[in-house]
Amino acid sequence: MSDTSEKVNLLGLSPAKMEAFFLEIGEKKFRAQQMLKWIHQYGESDFEKMTNMGKALRAKLSEVSEVVLPEVVYEDFSKDGTRKWVMRMPGGSSVETVYIPEKDRGTLCVSSQIGCALDCSFCSTGKQGFNRDLTVAEIIGQLYVAAMSFHKPGERRERRITNVVMMGMGEPLLNFRNVVDAMHLMMDDNAYGLSKRRVTLSTSGVVPMIDRLGDVTDVSLAISLHAPNDELRNELVPLNKKFPLSELIAATNRYLKKLPDKRKATIEYTLIDGVNDEMSHAEELAELMKQVPCKINLIPFNPFPNSGYRRPSNNRVYRFRDYLISQGHVVTIRSTRGDDIDAACGQLVGKVEDRTRRKERYIKAVQLDNDQGGQAV
């Protein structure tokens, strides 16, 4: 490494890349395990406090590397125990991360992009437009911040976070390499030690990347479905026009067959009043889901300003669920958590310096609707 090269941010190195880094600077591979533990288990970013590394090595590390932590600009707590962090990224944009505590587990919802390149009609993140992919350090940094928020730096942390879901801002499979490296860190015993069953990647259906994912990892898979037929899904999830349901289901089955154990996909279905929550939709969904081993997670729509959509009544949600169960499906209803701090599913917006101008077009469309509404009254 030359003196003019940028320092390497060790926070974002996967286990394999951490080993390669230490070999490159003339050290043994076992140093990688030590460094992973210092950063991810003890939350230590100061090389001088890494006492099992010699003085010469600590000096060398200071010359060629650093541990750059995310900048937390906002933290909020919901009355139900949900926590939300807003982290500013280089360039000025920010992303949101949410921790949801439950009786037997704590789940962290992690973002993979600043904004989202897709434009699902019911998701507030998509209305913010798209800026860029997050780096590995920026992805794993969200888990770092959440995990260390319960402890002081230098203390070995308890495992408050038992599950991670790549369901925050962005489409994870459109940031493939960085997301895969970050998930490897999540599951490494020298870092966060999460089970492959407890790390879940959620995708809107980037079919070629689902196939590629199965070649490099065996995390759990969730599919953001939200509609039981192509016509409706084309409207709600525009990516469906490129990868229709038949291709998505086939890719999901191929992924599940590659797993070393028997697992089901999680099917996420946001229920929107009068849009996709009719009994005819339940019948179509029940039939469609017979084609793939799955459990269905129903998500009552979480409103955001000017979406044009409404949350269905509890009666409609329960009726939809009960029909699916009657057809032999395993079904859960996701309880709304953190909606008082805008941390519920579909509400993460962050601050996006939009490169697509989608946000600008969305605002103009809303203003036009409001103007027309005012004239009509």
Q: Residue ranges per domain, the chain?
A: 8-66, 71-363
Phi, psi of 361 (to 5 degrees): -65, -40
Q: Annotated binding residue at 171?
A: yes
Evaluate whether 81 touches 335 at the Cβ level (below 8 Å): no
DSSP 168-212: SSS-GGGGHHHHHHHHHHHH-TTTT---GGGEEEEES--HHHHHH
Percent of the chain with pLDDT over 70: 85
Residue 264 has pLDDT above 90, yes or no: yes
345 counts as catalytic: yes
Q: Annotated binding residue at 109?
A: no
Tokens standing for 195?
A: 């089970």
Instruction: Identify residue 4 by its one-letter amino acid code.
Output: T
pLDDT on residue 305: 74
Note the pLDDT tens digit of each residue in 275-297: 999 999 999 999 999 999 999 99
Fold of 8-66: DNA polymerase; domain 1 (1.10.150)
Q: Annotated binding residue at 287?
A: no
- Catalytic member of 19, 44, 96, 268: 96
Q: What is the pTM of this model?
A: 0.86
Measured between alpha carbons, how far is 132 from 112 in angstroms, rounded to an integer?
Answer: 9
Could you identify the residue written with the tokens 């509404």? 373
Evaluate whether 255 touches 216 at the Cβ level (below 8 Å): no
Tell me the H-state helices in the chain: 15-24, 30-36, 55-64, 136-148, 176-187, 207-216, 230-236, 245-258, 279-288, 314-326, 358-376
Q: Which residues pair with 132 in a beta bridge?
A: 114
Q: Annotated binding residue at 202?
A: yes
Q: Annotated binding residue at 285?
A: no
Q: Annotated binding residue at 204?
A: no
Homologous superfamily assigned to 71-363: Aldolase class I (3.20.20.70)
With b for 16 or more beta-carbon neighbours within 10 A and e for fewer, the 63-94 pattern comes to: ebbbbbbbebeeebebeeebbbbbbbbeeebb
Note the pLDDT tens digit of each residue in 3-52: 446 899 999 999 999 999 999 999 999 999 999 999 999 999 999 999 99
Q: Annotated binding residue at 294?
A: no
96 counts as catalytic: yes
pLDDT grade, residue 376 (50/70/90)? very low
- Catalytic member of 19, 109, 294, 345: 345
Evaluate whether 175 touches 137 at the Cβ level (below 8 Å): no
> For residue 39, which of 195, 158, 148 has the smallest C-alpha distance?
148
Note the pLDDT tens digit of each residue in 39-95: 999 999 999 999 999 999 999 999 999 999 989 998 988 888 889 999 998 888 888
